[in-house]
Amino acid sequence: MAAEIKVGDKAPDFTLEDQDKNPVTLSSFQGKKNVVLAFYPLDWSPVCTNENTCFSNDLPKFDHANAVVFGISTDSVWSHKAWKENLKLKHNLLSDIKRKVCQDYGLFIPEANINKRATVIVDKSGIVRYVKVQEILTARDDNEILKALEQLK
């Protein structure tokens, strides 16, 4: 497994399917938008539910910061689809079911077979500008992420 991703690294490119089985490629946003990769452990869990609901509610703020938000977990596209519909989420969820992306970013927890709770901001040139890995039961703070995005303007 790769070392944990850090600020200044070139973000490993990837293509993952969203909840509608549409491919999403990280490098397709280069030169256009900053990308917030919100790695979270599991659909349907309490902390992840609250976090992703907050992301959806704050989406206009992320749009204003010229950023797109993707939730990423090792759950299937079908789980993502059901969870997104159930919560009425507005952002897309990417399925890393093969665990390749979380391993490439050094965010895989082998003994649990899931990824860590982590936020990675990739700027328009494909460089990692912000990384925060959190305790698995600690929710992230959207305001902190938005503040980091403001620095990129």
Task: Tell me, yes or no, if 54 is annotated catalytic.
Answer: no
Give the 3-state secondary structure of residue 85.
helix
Q: How far is the C-alpha of 112 from the C-alpha of 22, rounded, in Å?
A: 27
State the number of CA atoms in the 13 A half-sphere of 120 facing the CB. 31
For residue 101, the SS3 value is helix
The answer to whether residues 115 and 100 touch, using CB atoms and an 8 Å cutoff, is: no
Helices (H) and strands (E) in the chain, counts: 5, 9
DSSP codes joined into one string, 64-79: HTTEEEEEEESS-HHH
Question: Looking at 48, 93, 94, 114, which residue is catalytic?
Answer: 48
User: Strand order of the sheet with strand 117-122?
Assistant: 23-25, 15-18, 92-95, 67-73, 34-39, 117-122, 128-134
Active site residues: 48
